Amino acid sequence: MINLLPESGRWAFRRAYHARLLVIALSGALAVIMISIAFILPTFFSTRARRQAVSHELEIALARPVSKEADALAEEVRRVNSKIKLLAHEESEGQTFTWVTDRILGKAAASIAITQIALGKDKVVVVHGIAGTRTALLAFIAALNEDEQFSEVISPISNLIENVDVAFSVNLKIK
C-alpha cells in the first residue's frame, strides 16, 4: 500500500517518537537514581550513628581523670627525655660529650663557623659548618687529626670544591 502521509507528517511522528523515547529514558534514569538513594540512605544513617557513638565514647574516655593524668605524664616524660638528650653525659671512656664539643670548638679558628655538632652511632661525631677559606678548613682538619682523642677524621673531598665560604662536614671517631 502506498504511504499516504506527507513528508511533514512523517517528521512529526518521528519527533513525537523521539520525545517519548527521551521521556522514558529520563524516567528510567531518575528511577535508578531514586532507588539507589533509597538503598544507600540506611547505610549512610547507620554509619553516621556509629561515628557519633564512637566520637562520644572517645570524648568520655578523654574526659576521664586517668586519661588526663596519663597524657600529662606522657608529656612530662617526653619533656624530661628531651632534656636528658640535650644534657646527657654520653660517656665514652670517661669523657662527656660536652668535653668533646669543647675540644672541637677549641680547634676552630676565627674563620671557622661551626653550625652543628651531632653525636652519631659508634662514637662518631659529625661536625657541620662554614669555613672562610679552604686553607682555614684544611688547618682545622689538620688540628683535629693531630688531636689524640680522635682516632679517625673523615673529610669528604666535596669539602674542598670551593675556595671561599666553604660549607663542610667532618666525621670524627672518638677513641
Checking if the pLDDT of 164 tops 70, the result is yes
d(CA 89, CA 61): 40
Q: DSSP letter for 88, please.
A: -
What is residue 123's DSSP assignment? T
84-136 pLDDT, tens digit per residue, is: 775 664 444 445 677 888 888 888 888 999 999 888 777 889 999 999 999 99
Cβ contacts of 130 within 8 Å, gap of 6 or more: 112, 113, 115, 165, 166, 167, 168
Q: Which residue has the higher pLDDT, 25 or 120?
A: 25
The top-scoring range by mean pLDDT among 18-32, 113-127, 136-150 is: 18-32
Q: How far is CA 147 from the centre of its chain?
A: 39
Overall average pLDDT of the 48-74 stretch: 85
- Per-residue pLDDT for 4 more than 90? no
Amino acid (one-letter) located at 3: N
